[in-house]
Chain A
């Protein structure tokens, strides 16, 4: 088995984000999150529910990126209305993207600049406000830089820990930003004030690089760990079963 690539290390870090989730619906948005969620299901979280990206729940785990593999087995129906029902019920963990994210985990996918007349219009808040107040949310950022990891987001789409705290313990009791995975490292909010912390650094990445490419002051312990490497079994699953076409390496460069 050749050395793992950065994308493969990210896929494993993403899979780890879903560890312990059990029999809930996971919504991984983007190529790497889809690979990571499939990896979690094929290894330590076999009960996760996943869709085909449209409205069918997959009973098996076919590959991503249009690769040839086993025919999908459909185990259920999950149109958008059921997705909303599920997210309000809390039995869901979503991994979204973030055009901007700040130290408390506020996320922006709406627009850059003044919301009245933005410099750049993006997608809109989508489901981020409801997701973040109803169930665990994680983020994936494929290109870690200071324009994404910002001091303050221009629009709060997904709410972070400071906004949740303002709402009080009752309204925020289902709020959890579990992890942020980037191409450089793994981050969480397990600090006294729930400000972002470097949880682990991907092998080959310097901590200084992460600090330089983050526009706010991260919590960084002096003895921060390295993100774990994929096992041989995990590498084999990623390379041969989940993503034989190698779409992962297009999303994350070395």
Chain B
């Protein structure tokens, strides 16, 4: 059931909601796109909320990092659509690796550019977009449904017809946003977060800080405001919400914590301790306390 949004005194829609309200919209079997890249600016507070709720059998679409790993470890995933899954400073994601090696998930492995093209096709309401990427490679072994298309012009060249990747829900994390759903990325790379939103039926954006609209341009130029309110259904204020992935310029990756995560993932006993300490918690606020050692 879609969430109800409040009205401010001036009659403008206030889209501010909580992680719980956003994730309550997920249903078993849905396709969920997650913005960011590897271990960079991931909407981790929303991912952690998925762990708290009973939803399962998800198809996750992601330039994957610990978002994919955590969801795999929690048994939430049926299929992952990805170009890679990596923690950047630690190349391989341990939980994703285990899920693949035990064949507990389906792998829709794609070239990174094909993934962008699939989101872009969905955003443009096109059934597919042509590309050379993938021709001759084994992405067709991972995705046997892929077809080719021939140019109708004189050249007659054959391309991969990358099908639209339609999302039920998109989750992204920004540095700043206002209550109406305008988002601002202050870091060096916006990645493909706007495409996730445009490819999805429901779009939730967490951010480090909600500020009045008129303050958005105090920190940076208008070019940082790629996410506008047409693209967003709910805004979640989540300071530290990308932890332990990086969210520059607000904070870098918590490398110490990431190492702890990877070490714990190697051993069931250590993982159950890690889970108890950081994940089996009531709320994101409790998580933020736990990582600061305030428990």
CB proximity to A under 8 Å, residues B89-115: 91-92, 96-97, 100-103, 107, 109-114
CB proximity to B under 8 Å, residues A122-149: 122-130, 132-134
Whether the pair B137, A158 counts as a contact (CB closer than 8 A) is: yes
Chain B: how many interface residues by the 8 Å CB criterion? 43
Segment at the A interface, from B3-11, B17-25, B77-85, B253-261 = B77-85
CB proximity to A under 8 Å, residues B126-143: 131-139, 141-142
Chain A: minimal CB distance from B90 (Å): 12
Please tell me if B86 contacts chain A, counting CB pairs below 8 Å: yes
- Of the listed residues B135, B139, B156, the one surrounded by the most CB atoms of chain A closer than 10 A to its CB is B135
Whether the pair B112, A164 counts as a contact (CB closer than 8 A) is: no
Chain A: minimal CB distance from B112 (Å): 5
Q: Interface size class for chain A?
A: 35 or more
Known contacts A122-B92, A126-B83; A79 and B188 CB within 8 A of each other = yes
Whether the pair A157, B188 counts as a contact (CB closer than 8 A) is: no
Whether the pair A163, B92 counts as a contact (CB closer than 8 A) is: no
Please tell me if A170 contacts chain B, counting CB pairs below 8 Å: yes
Distance, CA A130 to CA B133, complexed state (A): 4
Whether the pair B97, A121 counts as a contact (CB closer than 8 A) is: yes
Whether the pair A171, B158 counts as a contact (CB closer than 8 A) is: yes
Please tell me if A81 contacts chain B, counting CB pairs below 8 Å: yes
Contact residues in B for A117 (Cβ distance below 8 Å):
100-103
Known contacts A123-B85, A124-B82; A129 and B191 CB within 8 A of each other = no
Chain A: minimal CB distance from B222 (Å): 15
Interface string of A55-66 (1 = CB under 8 A from B): 110000000000
Find B139's partner among A79, A122, A125, A164 (CB 8 Å cutoff).
Answer: A125
Whether the pair B82, A130 counts as a contact (CB closer than 8 A) is: no
Find B135's partner among A79, A119, A120, A171 (CB 8 Å cutoff).
Answer: A171
Please tell me if B157 contacts chain A, counting CB pairs below 8 Å: yes
